[in-house]
Amino acid sequence: MPKLFTVLMATISFILMACGSNKGQVDQSSTPAKVVYTQAIDRSINLNPFQEQKVVFNIYSLANSDQNFNELNDSIRVESDFLASINNTVSDIIIPMGTDISILIDNPCVLEGSSKISALRLEVQDQLPLPIKKQIYNLQLKSDRHLSQLEEELEDDKCVIGVSESQTYHKQDFYMDDPRRSEQAYLDLIKAEESYALFDSLSLGNTEDVVVAVVDTGVDYNHEDLKNVMWSNADGKHGFDFVNNDDEPMDDNDHGSHVAGLIAADTNNGIGIAGTAGKNVKIMAVKVLSASGSGSDAANGVRYAVENGADIINMSLGSARENAQMAAALREAVAAGVTVVVAAGNDNKLITPTDFYSPAGYGKDIEGVITVGSVDALSGSKSSFSNYSTTYVEIGAPGSRQGTSGVLSTIPDNRYARFQGTSMASPVTAGAVALVVSSLKSNKISYDPALTESIIVEGADKRSELESRFVDGRRLNLLGTARVLEHVIINFDGGF
């Protein structure tokens, strides 16, 4: 596997960071304007929204999850928050036939025969009452209904406490149907599954997609466990190939596909592995490294990702020298609101101002660029190959597994393989960042990459065995991250 960091003429050649070609133009096609709906009610300060109004739909969630909803409500779409007009607009919104809805019913009231539940009566009566006083009945709306119609229909019914969209919760069997989940010890080390229920609740049931750009050797966008998580532009392309100057960033090395799977392999789909970030992530493939794993277009790749709407960039690559072009691209990315996660390098060396690695060395001084070293998925200690520094390496994450050749992820042609390196630790961390960004966006919290970085590092474990290796001995912990995130969201006073 390549170990050399090659400097070619005036350009810096980056190599991938798994232990283990040429110039393109930036594709200027933009993503479609995002349609944004505000929520019908501010749930962050109203713990019992049904006290205020009987029918409370999460309009934002419906807009994001339901194509039919968007078509029906096309005429009242807006392209920015319309908080001021929400009270006038929301009752015109049509809730489509087939929408899964939950009705909170006063059971004793229904048993007395007092309910009039008009249009919804039959379906509700088909469901047996449980031995509780207030019970949620789940059913589907049998015809399109204006929100105001629904409100009117239910207003007089004393047995109806509240109506909303349904929400499906996922418990510890969240991952059970990814057949190779049991081989992913790295997800256990970072308490991934323990964290998902909290992340879900913090997202208010929303599933806000975030886009993670994998600036790497490309991605096999046809892979069975990746094809459904690929980002696409208006032309149906999944990114760009700076090595061959085309818009098909297919992976001809294996490295980028492995990285992509660690971030966002299609989760709970009955196939292959689970991704660290679960469901709400799209992968943008930005190919800057050739089949041999090197190239000089990494900074171009960063700008492509920023200009095309990525929320997060992962760079599992590096070069052993400072580079002003990369430094500038990183600062621009962060200024544009993009969080960048980079690998620390695999030479088991102390990073210093003179033994400098790019982009890893820039994380120290740029809030929003996170430099990641590797720990072993079983022992939790620093991986033997990982670079280290208690100032430059800001967190450790699993990138190896003792007794095997690494951590399991996707590689081209529907295959799976174990690789090890800080190249693997970085995307595991990028997956964690994706969960944080998804929750912040779902809660309409304006954030910058510095906040994202602080949530990741504050939530990390401080391990004594890593004290001399990484800043504060930090090791990624998703459950800790979710708890810090909860604190941030509860204390956020910017409103919706």
CB of 38 to Ca ion, least distance (A): 33
Task: Tell me how far apart the alpha carbons of residues 408 and 420 are, in angstroms, rounded to a whole number.
Answer: 9
Q: How many residues bind Ca ion (CB under 5 A)?
A: 12
Which of 100, 246, 465, 467 contacts Ca ion by CB under 5 A? 246
Q: Is 423 a catalytic residue?
A: yes
- Residue with smallest beta-carbon separation from Ca ion: 241
Binding segment for Ca ion among 23-31, 161-169, 355-363, 443-451 (CB under 5 A)?
Answer: 355-363
Span near Ca ion by CB under 5 A; candidates 106-114, 272-280, 403-411, 429-437: 272-280
Query: By the 8 A CB rule, do 96 and 66 touch?
Result: yes
Of the pair 275, 309, the CB lying nearest Ca ion is at: 275
Nearest by Cα to 72 from 143, 120, 123, 140: 143
Give the C-alpha separation, 73 to 493, whole Å.
30
The distance of closest approach from Cβ of residue 55 to Ca ion in the complex, given in angstroms and rounded to an integer, is: 37
User: Which of the residues 200, 223, 251, 255 is marked catalytic?
Assistant: 255
| Closest among 377, 480, 382 to 432, alpha carbons compared | 480
Residue 71 as a binder of Ca ion (CB under 5 A): the answer is: no
* Residues facing 84 on adjacent strands: none
Q: Is 216 a catalytic residue?
A: yes
**Quick check: 297 binds Ca ion (CB under 5 A)?**
no
In the region spanning residues 366 to 395, those forming contacts with Ca ion, defined by CB under 5 A, are 369
Among residues 70, 149, 167, 269, the one that binds Ca ion under rule CB under 5 A: 269
Active-site residue, from 400, 423, 426, 442: 423
Q: Does 404 bind Ca ion (CB under 5 A)?
A: no
Among 363, 396, 427, 449, binds Ca ion (CB under 5 A): 363
Closest CA to 231 of 309, 123, 344, 130: 309
Handedness of CA 396, 223, 264, 291 (dihedral sign): positive
Is the Cβ–Cβ distance between 273 and 408 less than 8 Å? yes
Does residue number 431 form part of the binding site for Ca ion (CB under 5 A)? no
Q: 140: phi > 0 → left, psi -120 to 50 → alpha, else beta; which?
A: beta
Pairing verdict, β 210-216 and 312-315: parallel
Q: Which of 66, 216, 311, 461 is catalytic?
A: 216
Residue 122's SS3 state is helix
End-to-end CA distance of the chain: 50
The Cα angle at residue 204 between residues 198 and 210, in degrees rounded to 5: 85
Cis before 359 (ω within 30): yes
Indicate whether 220 belongs to the interface with Ca ion (CB under 5 A): no
Q: Which stretch binds Ca ion (CB under 5 A): 209-217, 307-315, 357-365, 441-449?
A: 357-365
Contact characters 311-350, Ca ion, x per CB under 5 A: ----------------------------------------
Question: Which one of 144, 188, 248, 448 is in contact with Ca ion (CB under 5 A)?
Answer: 248
Cα–Cα distance measured from residue 380 to residue 370, given in angstroms and rounded to the nearest whole number: 19
What is the C-alpha separation between 234 and 218, in angstroms, rounded? 19
Select 60 or 447, whichever has its Cβ closest to Ca ion.
Answer: 447
Q: Should residue 266 be labelled a site residue for Ca ion when binding is judged by CB under 5 A?
A: yes
Helix (H, G, I), strand (E, B) or coil at 94: strand
Question: CB of residue 495 vs Ca ion: minimum separation in angstroms?
Answer: 29
- Whose Cβ is closer to Ca ion: residue 239's or residue 309's? 239
Q: Which of 47, 267, 79 is nearest to 175 (CA)?
A: 267
Binding part of the chain for Ca ion, among 125-133, 144-152, 164-172, 364-372 by CB under 5 A, reads 364-372
Alpha-carbon Rg for the chain, nearest whole angstrom, is 24
Residues that bind Ca ion (CB under 5 A): 178, 225, 241, 244, 246, 248, 266, 269, 271-272, 363, 369
Residues recognised as catalytic: 216, 255, 423
